[in-house]
Chains A and B, each alone.
Chain A
């Protein structure tokens, strides 16, 4: 187990290193010159040279990378040339939003998907299964940019139960906080429910046909006991792997919802940074989002090895 974890940690470090190189090279891969972008029409040769020096872009690539990565280890990701706000400060505002969105949306998705999958798997091809499968298929074809406005129209504009936009931090009270996060979380959860339901249902149906389940039934164990103790665990691998990918993706992939609901999370800031060619913001946000994705998936791999020791040997 320790060896497995050590191996994965080494892989994690290598991947993070590669990510950092890619994020660093973003500025060089993007069309245009960052100094030109910042200076705009004021881009005279003299100003250009001064700014390149200020940004350290007049040095070699390796030297620039070393400076950049060293600064990161000191908590310095640079500052937005637009708002002068440090990227670290922007992240400290954005990360809690994404974390809460991810947690609430995934908890909602799992709360809905797991019971649905259990009921459907116990009685496959019966009425509930057909309704659930059809409705989740419909949900799959409902993109967040459609679901979001519909939710806003119903719950914010018509019923006025929740705000249409904005994020209230926990410091403003749990009620206002949950009110501000519930609609975007539901919008995000819709897609996840579908995926989780389908993955879990398929695995549950397969597991329920295993000999050990027949044996358990023949011993007179209750269905609930069999499901909880014997079936859920071997049926949850695909669900867990799916959740890992989904959670990782949401750190940046939630930008559509963040823009619709005006939530200044990582995705929102990243998109703003890209539009404004605010390259330090883009670099920093992309780095953090990518590392978050890798770390989440590392955690999922780790959980999978606990659930199924065979994974370790794979």
Chain B
């Protein structure tokens, strides 16, 4: 209560000070009168009495000031005074204010944007209930792609019933492709991306529908009436957010499906489980129908409270090796492993290092910004030395002066932060709408509360750093000297000079670290782009096609007819069909040499592509030996396969595999050719085993038509679509996807990081060069007189220029050397992010050093030129 009373009193004091001041004046006046009266009584003269009284009283203004400080919200007064003063000062120097604010807004904006990304992907928990309990269950992520990371329905059922660590285990069909469902009966067929999830999927994650309900157990049984849940964005887009949508029926692929609910906006399946893709609808996975599909389920479990992931892993280590692939074929075994990881780590763990590097990069930018502004403030402060000395002489305490400088820096920071927030807002909006970047959760990046708190924090920290350094420096300077100093002295404070030099040096070393980091990442990125993918993405494009596959024995004829007709479209040079494309979805089967014995687990799963003749050609996949698949490799004839080099080398070392007999999923198959390796999972990972099987002899999962053309796919789209429609009127409208897009998508995370770090490095370089230019230019201005004298005494233009440039270079070289040393340490720390580039990559280091030196020379040359043009007469007269 007391403090409350005090607060009220102080508030009153601070708001009603004219009265209080008046009262104080009266009180002091009466004080003096009483004192004078007493002095008179003691026999002093009138004048003496008055003098003594006022000497005893001391400074009236000081006493008043003390009174004000003691009585109330003085800081409020002081603050508003400081603020008013600051705005006045900044208005007087708009150039300085504009530059400072601009620099700050870049620094703060970049930091806030990156923080938002880091926060969303790395720091914020996943948008599920108790996300720390959620566990991702996967097979050993070795070679073999998705098929070795997923489980059969029987294995899932067995694990679910035997385990004791999880509240529940759920899964989803991991092999859904995009655009796999046709929405019909609403005009032209529209392609949707649907996914099948286990009946308990949403319950396990803790996601509640915003409309309707989740799946019921009976809807996950064989022959159940089909139902669907709509994704939020799809519901908004296609149904205009119809609030009465629940219970209505839609036509998916000719089947009437009842909509039972809509999932919330916060639930974005794609962004968590399959970055860069969008899911429109969710259907219940009917496990009984999926028994013979092989390994298809990706598993997620929710730990029981109090069960650690270690305990669950111990249990999984016991259970998984005993799981069966199929209850009907216990002799097949299962050969499963189960590696558990917290879902969040699975989703963003791979990105942690990259994101931290990104965070450090913007941190460095902010440091450079601080250093730059410290420098600017210092230059400004030096120019204002007299003003401060004057204020100090008039009774402003050192604290007050520092506070004044801090107020200025905080005001600048705050304005910069506001602009920066706008910048960050735009940047995060841009990033969130980059559907093509394969980064998890990126679509949910926004400026949220924590980003605002972060902004506040860095704004204050920045202001403190760049306000305090010059502030302390300034207020320590000698009052009398500053007053006497004419401003253009011959020997400006040596200490000042040293501090400024130190600032420039640190700025250059920071920029050096940034540039080397960005250079290494850029070099890695170029190396990734240079990787031989094993196929030719340029000039090829793929489109998902629908064809009548009701009679498997007719599949070859149907596709052959389609390919011939497409080839007849003007501009199309080659065609082919495959069910999966490299760097896109994949699946794997078993492949081994017939007649050889292998240890269990010795052979990796082999990526399988079911293709038509001509596919290898249109993709530019190089035949190394043997022949391509032909239309004669019919159903019922000898089964044939083409394998890649890596598989061939292992299965038939030192022999010619062509003509040998292999086992493909247990069936005798003749090897008819060997092709070059294709990067199937990502451009950066070494290729696994791959095989190509004819569509006539194997069931494809969908079909993608690949065409090679000199024309742009957009130009061709309508004629190709017309041809496809003439074959199959139900062919839905889909887009041509240039293969290059698929490649770009695969390298998009690296491109994302490289471009951001690159931008920051350039920003750092610009700031650092501004910094060094500022310091040199300033020192030239300060030395105008000195240079004038030198020139009067016979120094040549070259002489003067050389001196200035030499000084610049000296600073730059110290900075570069320090920066290079720091860069070595930094490079080692980011080794794991590099691709085919050594941390001490000589081209990167050399070019960085050259670049920085050049920049320093240019930054020094401009003031040097100015120095050499100084007219000695004017310089000496000046002042």
- A and B: interacting chains: no
Interface residues of B (CB under 8 A from A): none
